[in-house]
Amino acid sequence: MRDSLRRTYDAQLGGLVVDVPQGELRTSVAADAPALDLGALFGREAPVVVEIGCGPGDSLVPMARARPDVDVLAFEVYEPAVAALVSRLVREDVRNVRVAPVDAVGGLTRLIGEGALSEVWTFFPDPWPKAKHHKRRLVDATFADLVASRLAPGGRWRLATDWEGYADQMRAVLDAHPAFVTEPEDRGDRPVTRFERRGTAEGRAIADLVHRRA
């Protein structure tokens, strides 16, 4: 991490960067970590969205800026990306975002209460394209159970991928899940990112899935 990003990151610990009690690994959450008080975290009561794997915020920042009445909590484990995101939030004066540098499964399990979220965004998770690695993919029935428990009734899970096989897996998992209602595929206000352009240039179609919590 560049020194300038490190200084910005360190200055925002406990501010834009949520200070989460760590477990055994740097990106894990301590087993006794209390659930976040989201109202206190953002300084107001508003609908809360969680983005999983936000990277440097290519989607997150413009989407959060376009929704000033919504608060966004991002889970991202790659510290340089967190620092780049925080630097951009400060530079562009975007105030309705916080980022927790922890694993999304641990974060959702321990830091978010049941029914607390209005939306969850999972844009371009690692596709693990080799068949022997498919078991590492984030979106499976167990993770869908977790997301369903954290969404309020009527809340939406928005997902995007540029890997056809992963899109098919997402559809199979969520179309069959009793807690979700499948809605028409729609990118909504999700901006086109550099990552997405690269996938399109390589001939991969983009799937934008929407599932509503029943």
CATH of the domain at 81: 3.40.50.150
Estimate the crossing angle of helix 79-92 against helix 3-11, to 10 degrees.
70
Report the first-to-last Cα separation within the chain, whole angstroms.
42
* Domain with 9 in it: 3-213
The confidence score (pLDDT) of residue 130 equals: 94
Write down the pLDDT at residue 67.
97
Cα(205)–Cα(151) distance, integer angstroms: 28
Residue 10 clears pLDDT 70, i.e. is over it: yes
Q: What is the pTM of this model?
A: 0.95
Give me 211's structure tokens: 């599932």
The residues annotated as belonging to the active site are 126
Number of independent structural domains in the chain: 1
Contact call for residues 77 and 85 (beta carbons, < 8 A): no
Binding-site residue numbers for substrate are 130, 162, 193-196
pLDDT at res. 4: 80
Residues in binding site for S-adenosyl-L-methionine: 51, 76, 103, 126
Q: Encode pLDDT of 53-99 as tens digits.
A: 999 999 999 999 999 999 999 999 998 899 999 999 999 999 999 99
Rounded CA gap, 48 and 171, in Å?
Answer: 25
Q: Is 101 exposed, middle or buried (0-12, 13-18, 19+ CB in 10 A)?
A: buried
pLDDT digits (tens, 9 = 90+) for 124-141: 999 999 999 999 999 999
pLDDT at 1 over 80: no
Alpha-carbon dihedral angle through residues 123, 125, 129, 130, given to the nearest 10 degrees: -170
List residues forming the annotated binding site.
51, 76, 103, 126, 130, 162, 193-196
Asked whether the predicted pLDDT for residue 6 surpasses 90, the reply is: no
Confidence of residue 11 (pLDDT cuts 50, 70, 90): confident
Comparing 61 with 7, which gets the higher pLDDT? 61
Percent of the chain with pLDDT over 70: 100
Place of tokens 């951009």: 88
Concatenating the DSSP letter of every residue in the chain gives --HHHHHHHHHTBTTTB--PPB-SSTTSB-TTPPPP-HHHHHTS---EEEEES-TT-TTHHHHHHT-TTSEEEEE---HHHHHHHHHHHHHHT--SEEEE-S-HHHHHHHHS-TT-EEEEEEES-----SGGGGGG-S-SHHHHHHHHHHEEEEEEEEEEES-HHHHHHHHHHHHT-TTEEEE----TTPPP-HHHHHHHHTTPPPEEEEEEE-
Alpha carbons within 13 A on the beta-carbon side of 107? 21
Instruction: Tell me what the mean pLDDT of segment 140-165 comes to.
Output: 97
Residue 105 has pLDDT above 90, yes or no: yes
Going by pLDDT thresholds of 50, 70 and 90, the confidence category of residue 156 is very high
Report the percent of the chain where pLDDT is more than 90: 87
User: What tokens were used for 152?
Assistant: 């309020």
Average pLDDT over residues 179-208: 94
